[in-house]
Amino acid sequence: MKDQQQILRFCERFEVPVSLAGFVPRLFSDEEIGAALANDDNRFAAPDYDASWLDAEFRRGFLNKTQEPGVYRLNTLYGMLDVFVVSRRDDYDRLFTNEEKHQLDDWYFDAYFSSLRPDGKGRLTEDKVMTLDETIETIMNDPRQIYLNNCDCRSLTGDCGKPVRTCLTWKNGPNTFVDRGLSQKLTKEEAVEVVRRADKAGLMHTTMSGGICNCCPDCCYLFRSQRRAQTWGIWPEPKGLISYDPEKCIDCGLCARRCQMGVFKKEAALVFDPRRCAGCGLCVSTCPAGALKLAPRA
């Protein structure tokens, strides 16, 4: 077991905030801590290190590849944590209490949010919200190989109850989940089934150039950032806006249970507030009376 001074030195080397220093002995082995402290030039390569150790530490996210073949460098806690929770969820659940998971998640989310546009306004990333049909069309029309991963957002918090194996990616370059051997290769038809199951579970579909996420507002960093930045109706970019016909409504309340954004509330009468509509279409596919329609935003 490394002493406190060594732990603090490792925190500086691996960009671990001091507030999370107590988690270091659980996340990292003595061998990893020792290797990080002993390597002043941050260059990890054979023959100084065993090739199998380098590969294992790369897959685990402790090391990243460099542009030089066979040479690695230390990752950071921010870069490693999502690899860890996606690839070793059982270990994550075993090592940390729910309160500790939220402590890690709060730090990670703050770091993510600070990496967005500094003014905190407008469209902070290229992410767009899509309906199920639009998502399926995107999958079928994209010629790239698609892969499946666990959702890092829901893996980090771990307690919302929504499905976790839902993230689809086309990214397969250096240091991606695919490159680390952590992703499952899918056919287009298998990818479509993933989004159909996610849709049934009430997850919203978002897309960017690198992949497709199936999101809940409780865990998803996009929608948590939306709340913090107050970008409803702007970002993540909503293509559609819901309209409601009260004359067709049969007052079943399914839309209120299905909507993730609080657009509908079932009180004495249905309360409808479209200002926070994400354009996901989950309510439209649920309404048995045809009282809801999703139209393009002006």
Per-residue pLDDT tens for 228-261?
999 999 999 999 999 999 999 999 999 999 999 9
Percent of the chain with pLDDT over 90: 88
The pLDDT, as a whole number, for residue 69 is 95
The pLDDT, as a whole number, for residue 121 is 63
Cα–Cα nearest to 70, from 48, 45, 49, 53: 45
Neighbouring residues of 185: CB distance < 8 A, sequence distance ≥ 6: 145, 147
| Contact indicator for 57, 63 with CB cutoff of 8 Å | yes
The pLDDT, as a whole number, for residue 179 is 98
Mean pLDDT, to the nearest integer, of 195-217?
Answer: 96
Q: Rounded to the nearest 5 degrees, what angle is found at the Cα of 83, between the Cα atoms of 106 and 238?
A: 65
The pLDDT, as a whole number, for residue 270 is 86
Cα–Cα nearest to 178, from 168, 190, 163, 189: 168
Instruction: Please tell me the distance from the alpha carbon of residue 246 to that of residue 227, in angstroms, as a whole number.
Output: 28
The pLDDT, as a whole number, for residue 120 is 59
| Contact indicator for 128, 208 with CB cutoff of 8 Å | yes
Q: Is 39 helix (H, G, I), strand (E, B) or coil?
A: coil
Residue 2 predicted with pLDDT over 80: no
Sort 55 into a burial class: Cβ within 10 Å, 0-12 / 13-18 / 19+: middle
Phi then psi for 89, rounded to 5 degrees?
-65, -40
Instruction: Please tell me the distance from the alpha carbon of residue 127 to that of residue 224, in angstroms, as a whole number.
Output: 14
Mind listing the pLDDT tens digit for each residue in 59-93?
Answer: 999 999 999 999 999 999 999 999 999 999 899 99
The pLDDT, as a whole number, for residue 73 is 98
| Single-letter code of the amino acid located at 104 | L
Percent of the chain with pLDDT over 70: 98
Instruction: Please tell me the distance from the alpha carbon of residue 280 to that of residue 264, in angstroms, as a whole number.
Output: 14
The pLDDT, as a whole number, for residue 71 is 98
Structure-token pair, residue 52:
């199998």
Give the mean pLDDT of the chain.
94
Neighbouring residues of 215: CB distance < 8 A, sequence distance ≥ 6: 153, 203, 204, 205, 206, 222, 223
* Neighbour count for residue 246 (Cβ, 10 Å): 10
Neighbouring residues of 247: CB distance < 8 A, sequence distance ≥ 6: 291
| Contact indicator for 42, 73 with CB cutoff of 8 Å | yes
Residue 223 predicted with pLDDT over 70: yes
The pLDDT, as a whole number, for residue 124 is 86
Residue 220 predicted with pLDDT over 70: yes
Strand pairing class (292-296; 240-244): antiparallel
Mind listing the pLDDT tens digit for each residue in 133-170?
Answer: 999 999 999 999 999 999 999 999 877 889 999 999 99
Phi then psi for 293, rounded to 5 degrees?
-140, 145
Which carries the bigger pLDDT value, residue 120 or residue 129? 129
Phi then psi for 142, rounded to 5 degrees?
-90, 125
The pLDDT, as a whole number, for residue 119 is 66
Neighbouring residues of 275: CB distance < 8 A, sequence distance ≥ 6: 232, 233
Structure-token pair, residue 220:
């998803």
Q: Which of 18-27, 74-83, 117-126, 163-172 has the lowest mean pLDDT?
A: 117-126
